[in-house]
Structure 1
Amino acid sequence: MIRTMDEMLAKAAEYGERARIAVACAHDCEVLKAVGRAQEKGIGSFLLVGEAEKIASLSERLGVCVSGCSVIDARGEAEGAARAVELVASGEAQVLLKGFLDTGVFLRAVLNKETGLVNGDMISHTVLMDMPAADKMYFLTDAAMVIKPSLEEKKQIILNALRVTSALGLENPIVGVLAESEKVNPKMQATTDAQALKDMAAQGEIPGCRIGGPYALDNAISRRAAEHKGMDDPLAGHADILLAPDLAAGNILYKGLMYFAGSKAAGAIVGTRAPVVLNSRADTDETKLNAMALGVLMAAERGLL
């Protein structure tokens, strides 16, 4: 099992240049710095889609060598996204990385029914969080895609997250279903959904994990807090996957952990034909590098490498 971001980077490097990563709109300093760092660590080969002249001038200014990369000239965000998606859809690349473009434009290309990477599965987002104060990494979902998930959608979000945990070698993880309270309350939808998800797991409808909840955040990650509140749930305090009640809660928790707690992160979209690495344009080169490594391991787990 991979326990740190550094271990994940080292594992991804084992696949070397076999892992081909297409970058949509690569003409950005943080993106190119991440590409340079990935090349130094032996993680992947790159197909850089975007404004070729700008890629050349920025890489020269940054001291990043792109001579070993394929550079595909594309003008505008829509063209850059479409060309990068095409490279992955055709099998020329196995991982798609969002560069410097609007998320909506990027996702329209990914989710295009004719030329995109959809395969009929539900699409969701899982982000891996490595926090300085924690003794393990956590998986948070969904922080970027599904706005107000229904009960059935929450089930699918869990199943998608299990594909990410599997890529990192985590077997039978504990899912902590987050809510406002650790008590089931008919007026709090998140708590009743948590009970329903536990019942589904008990009936074998959500295999490959153990589900606990509803949990307030402290009950999900702190055994001491759970015991202090008198909880006898053996899973309380031991969550590996944190299932947010909705996108607002998930996104706020995700960015709060990054900006207030100094957490390292790596996020990806799950449910597409190939791993899609979704970053914010504001993310650092380190975050983009971590996400590349996660994408490579997901591609390997799916037999694409």
Structure 2
Amino acid sequence: MSHEKYDRLIEVARSLEAIATAVVHPCDASSLAGALDAARMGLIRPILVGPRAKIEAVARENGLDLSGCELVDAPHSEAAATQAVELVKAGRAEALMKGSLHTDELMAAVVRKDTGLRTARRISHCFVMDVPAHEDALIISDAAVNIAPTLEVKMDIVQNAIDLGHALRVPEVRVAILSAMETVNPKVPSTVEAAALCKMADRGQITGGILDGPLALDNAIDLAAAGIKKIVSPVAGRANVLIVPNLEAGNMLAKSLSFLAQADSAGIVLGAKVPIILTSRADSVTARLASCAVAVMVAHARRESPTKVIA
């Protein structure tokens, strides 16, 4: 299956300087190979953080070459996550990449109040999805971190997604706030919050994107569906960012695209001091590389605007 949108993204990222990336506990073949593949493509300079003997054994067993990779010894996954955060705080890494530890273990070190990588912005997750039958890549948020976000949290989720769109050089970031319908219904709280988010954008509380909502999925991404409902909007039918009501809806949407529309999904966590690359063992090689490419472009956008929180 062709994924030309990811191919373009990876090519742009390869034109930029590779970023130092702390790869946390890469103690299985897929996570270690993913980091080394990204290094060979010139996307990242991996710093492998975890039990040295175990990482070297995985490399030997799978014919992987660790030459040129820095290896920071840490006795177990929790210690590896803590050590990786310290590398970021010391200025030695501009991104984190999840290895074979649980996401919760990595994020616990990231969000720790005194020693973590928090910013004033709420941490959220974005999928950048390459859907073969759809013209543009789709940013979907939040399908992995915030379970039932409040309106205040959704404001940061939207801003993180908009800033990601700019980092990916999207010419116009068009944000659809999704619900089950396109009218405001007090009995459906997500429609009320969608309307509030749009008014926040009107008042400058959310910046950099064009918002509309509530919108149902069909009239967010399909011009014909928007036309049938007579929705006149610069976003309806043309959205490139989809903000879901809650984690369950986002998870189902992303997996539906993956399994029914053969989409690939690159994953990134935003709102911390550096981008965090989240990959799954089920990810294709292209999706893994695309996740790294997204982090590269976010890191470079941070260099250009260091006072702006975009990761």
Query: Which range, TM-score by smaller chain?
Result: over 0.9
- Cα distance in 2, alignment partners of residues 215 and 150 from structure 1: 18
- The residue that corresponds to 1:46 in the other structure is 46
- The residue that corresponds to 1:283 in the other structure is 283
Q: Partner of 2:211: helix, strand, or coil?
A: strand
Q: CA RMSD in A?
A: 1.8
Q: Decide whether the 8 Å contact of 2:23 with 2:35 is kept in 1.
A: no
Please give the residue correspondences for 1:249-264 in structure 2 after superposition, counting only pairs within 5 Å: 249-264=249-264
Question: Is 2:205 the partner of 1:205?
Answer: yes
- Cα distance in 2, alignment partners of residues 88 and 276 from structure 1: 11
Name the TM-score, length of structure 1 as normaliser: 0.93
- The residue that corresponds to 1:6 in the other structure is 7
Long gaps (5+) in structure 1: none
**Equivalent residues, number:** 302
Q: Partner of 1:302: helix, strand, or coil?
A: helix
Q: Decide whether the 8 Å contact of 1:171 with 1:208 is kept in 2.
A: no
Q: Decide whether the 8 Å contact of 1:8 with 1:293 is kept in 2.
A: yes
| Deviates further, 23-32 or 231-240 | 231-240
Give the deviation of 1:303 after TM superposition: 0.3
- Cα distance in 2, alignment partners of residues 288 and 83 from structure 1: 23
- Cα distance in 1, alignment partners of residues 157 and 141 from structure 2: 7
- The residue that corresponds to 1:84 in the other structure is 84
Q: Partner of 1:4: helix, strand, or coil?
A: helix
Question: Is 2:232 the partner of 1:235?
Answer: no
- Cα distance in 2, alignment partners of residues 86 and 142 from structure 1: 27
- Cα distance in 1, alignment partners of residues 286 and 82 from structure 2: 25
- Cα distance in 2, alignment partners of residues 281 and 200 from structure 1: 38
Q: Decide whether the 8 Å contact of 1:13 with 1:44 is kept in 2.
A: no
Q: Decide whether the 8 Å contact of 1:225 with 1:237 is kept in 2.
A: yes
Q: Decide whether the 8 Å contact of 2:49 with 2:71 is kept in 1.
A: yes
Quick one: which amino acid aligns to residue 164 of structure 1? Answer: L
Please give the residue correspondences for 1:212-223 in structure 2 after superposition, counting only pairs within 5 Å: 212-223=212-223
- Cα distance in 2, alignment partners of residues 89 and 123 from structure 1: 17
CA offsets 1:101-134 (integer angstroms, 9 cap, x no match): 1111111111112221112321111111111111
- Cα distance in 1, alignment partners of residues 125 and 105 from structure 2: 17
- The residue that corresponds to 2:127 in the other structure is 127
| Deviates further, 101-110 or 61-70 | 61-70
Give the deviation of 1:61 after TM superposition: 3.3
Q: Decide whether the 8 Å contact of 1:34 with 1:286 is kept in 2.
A: no
Give the deviation of 1:33 after TM superposition: 1.8
Q: Partner of 2:22: helix, strand, or coil?
A: strand
Q: How has the CA–CA distance of structure 1 residues 30 and 12 changed in structure 2, closer, same or farther, with 3 Å as cutoff?
A: same
Q: Decide whether the 8 Å contact of 1:25 with 1:100 is kept in 2.
A: yes
Give the deviation of 1:285 after TM superposition: 4.0
- Cα distance in 2, alignment partners of residues 44 and 299 from structure 1: 11
- The residue that corresponds to 1:139 in the other structure is 139
Name the TM-score, length of structure 2 as normaliser: 0.91
Quick one: which amino acid aligns to residue 12 of structure 2? Answer: K
- Cα distance in 2, alignment partners of residues 53 and 66 from structure 1: 12
- The residue that corresponds to 1:59 in the other structure is 59
Q: Decide whether the 8 Å contact of 1:173 with 1:209 is kept in 2.
A: yes
Give the deviation of 1:56 after TM superposition: 1.8
Q: Decide whether the 8 Å contact of 2:22 with 2:84 is kept in 1.
A: yes
Quick one: which amino acid aligns to residue 221 of structure 2? Answer: I
| Deviates further, 69-78 or 176-185 | 69-78
Q: Partner of 2:43: helix, strand, or coil?
A: coil
Give the deviation of 1:283 after TM superposition: 3.3
- The residue that corresponds to 1:34 in the other structure is 34
- Cα distance in 2, alignment partners of residues 78 and 186 from structure 1: 44
Quick one: which amino acid aligns to residue 230 of structure 1? Answer: K
Q: Partner of 1:303: helix, strand, or coil?
A: helix
Q: Decide whether the 8 Å contact of 1:176 with 1:214 is kept in 2.
A: yes
Q: Partner of 1:191: helix, strand, or coil?
A: helix
Give the deviation of 1:234 after TM superposition: 4.1
- Cα distance in 2, alignment partners of residues 16 and 198 from structure 1: 37
CA offsets 1:142-183 (integer angstroms, 9 cap, x no match): 111111112222111111112211111114411101001112
Please give the residue correspondences for 1:90-239 in structure 2 after superposition, counting only pairs within 5 Å: 90-239=90-239
Long gaps (5+) in structure 2: 307-311
Q: Decide whether the 8 Å contact of 1:30 with 1:284 is kept in 2.
A: no
Q: Decide whether the 8 Å contact of 1:31 with 1:285 is kept in 2.
A: no
- Cα distance in 1, alignment partners of residues 231 and 45 from structure 2: 50
% same residue: 37
CA offsets 1:43-91 (integer angstroms, 9 cap, x no match): 1211011222232232233332211101122222211111111111211
- Cα distance in 1, alignment partners of residues 60 and 10 from structure 2: 25
